[in-house]
Amino acid sequence: MLYIGIDLGTSAVKLLLMDAEGDIKKIVSREYPLYFPNPGWSEQKPEDWYEQTILGLKELVADCNKDEVAGISFGGQMHGLVILDEKDTVIRPALLWNDGRTTKECDYLNQVIGKEKLSQYTANISFTGFTAPKILWIRNEEPENFARIKKLMLPKDYIAYMLSGVHCTDVSDASGMLIFDVKNKCWSKEMLEICGITENQVPKIFESYEVVGNLQPELAAELGLKETVKIIAGAGDNAAAAVGTGTVGDGRCNISLGTSGTIFISSKDFGVDKNNALHAFAHADGNYHLMGCMLSAASCNKWWMDDIIGTCDYQKEQADITKLGENNVYFLPYLMGERSPHNNPNARGTFIGLTMDSTRTDMTQAVLEGVAFAIRDSFEVAKSLGIQIERTKICGGGAKSTLWKTIFANVLNIKIDVIESEEGPALGGAMLAMVGCGEYSNVEEAAAKLVKVVDTIEPDKELAEKYEAKYQKFAQIYPTVKELFDTLVK
């Protein structure tokens, strides 16, 4: 049988077709616009997601035996707010995960409601990217739209709804809304009340591998697929990527270098970082995970290459980087503000340490190293909890760079395992579809069968020591300039 994974990303939807043995038959990617109506705002039209997903599905299955397609599941950008009216029509463009307009609402949640209560209700505190402050923003700033809300949901869940007709979400994605009781895997009545919404306005909750319904008949006919095709709940992009890299079960780690960057640690047990510097979420394997998330990761390198120095040849730019651990230029990668561990939407990207003999190559290297140092910030929080990590998987667009993986191995001083297929959330989505359709009994079994490590990058003792010294300097920069960021923004 054949299985489809749909990764609803920030810049494009990526669709993957795979058989039960893990052989990827075809991959399709289709882009859609991203809108920035005001500085710090970030929006997309759900209708664009759906249009490109359907076009992508048609292209994906064009040459396969359509009767063999058994299930479809998802990975998707988290935290975005999609609101529908009583006719299930989109009311306004979706507010995305990297939208920073909700500072006032976050302050209200963290300072008035209080971080302690938020953590008690949801296992997390408020970040500008989370969904609850977006709901409050709509209530405060667009009351006419708020009054029309019949259903609210997350980005990938809109696609799942359009395919199945079921208003659904999964536990991993719901964990990032700040209205979900992560420990007990149910909606938080207290948070729903704080946000002014009812349980009727939120979707039904599923485990990531559970079937929510079947492909709607009219869509099945349009796509040439059977009406028996199962739609499986899927997961937030980071949890889906973790499934795709085999980061399931207890004590596994994955680093994702996409538009955003994450360090993801799976756990059999529920646990909360007492300072809430790391997110405590439900995992797509039925368990839990801790996650540190930075808002700009591979997007920092894309910004530097495309917009600043004006080149598409990333490999050529990196080829000149030969003196690892010796760069005196530092870069704070906070181009969209920052989430973990600083939780500061006012943080900004910063080069520091430039001299007259600093080169373009030094600055390129600083961008790559800055992202690695920022991930280490969250890594250090995990270590402070007594979590010992000796190796990690890696995925995302940035993971295609051997140089960047080498930098990460030495900045973190751990082994980096490279897997055979680095297709991230789309691969994880297809694997969740397999579990939902009964091809595998659980997510861990699917990962053990399908995820293969093909290379390991080990840290070099001397280089790791150099990066240790560099990181200690990097770690002093943000606290030193934090107050300046606040004055620049205000």
* Model pLDDT for residues 251-280, shown as the tens digit of each residue: 899 998 988 899 999 988 898 877 888 999
Q: Of the given ranges (196-200, 274-278, 459-463), which has the lowest mean pLDDT?
A: 274-278
If one counts every other C-beta atom within 10 angstroms of the C-beta of residue 188, the result is 22
**CATH class of the region 2-238:** alpha beta
- Catalytic residue (one of 99, 173, 237, 285): 237
| Opening angle at CA 398, ends 317 and 295, nearest 5 | 115
What is the phi/psi pair of residue 438, to 5°? 85, 10
Locate the domains of the chain by residue range: 2-238
Residue 240, SS3 per DSSP? helix
* 289 in a known ligand binding site: no
399-421 average pLDDT score: 95
Q: Give the Cα separation of 75 and 424 in Å (integer).
A: 9
Closest listed residue to residue 233, CA positions, set 5, 463, 446, 399: 5
364-374 average pLDDT score: 98
Alpha carbons within 13 A on the beta-carbon side of 466: 16
- Please, is 418 exposed, middle or buried when counting C-beta atoms within 10 Å of its C-beta (0-12, 13-18, 19+)? middle
Q: Give the Cα separation of 121 and 140 in Å (integer).
A: 22
221-226 average pLDDT score: 97
Confidence class for position 384, pLDDT limits 50, 70, 90? confident
| Opening angle at CA 199, ends 193 and 205, nearest 5 | 125
Share of the chain above pLDDT 70, in %: 100
Q: Is 237 a catalytic residue?
A: yes
Residue 137, SS3 per DSSP? helix
Q: Are 281 and 273 in contact (CB under 8 A)?
A: no
Q: Give the Cα separation of 337 and 344 in Å (integer).
A: 6
Which residues fall within 8 angstroms of residue 110, CB to CB, at 6 or more apart? 118, 125, 126
* Model pLDDT for residues 84-97, shown as the tens digit of each residue: 999 999 999 999 99
* 279 in a known ligand binding site: no
Given a cut of 70, whether residue 490 has pLDDT beyond it is no
Residue 388, SS3 per DSSP? coil
Q: What is the pTM of this model?
A: 0.87
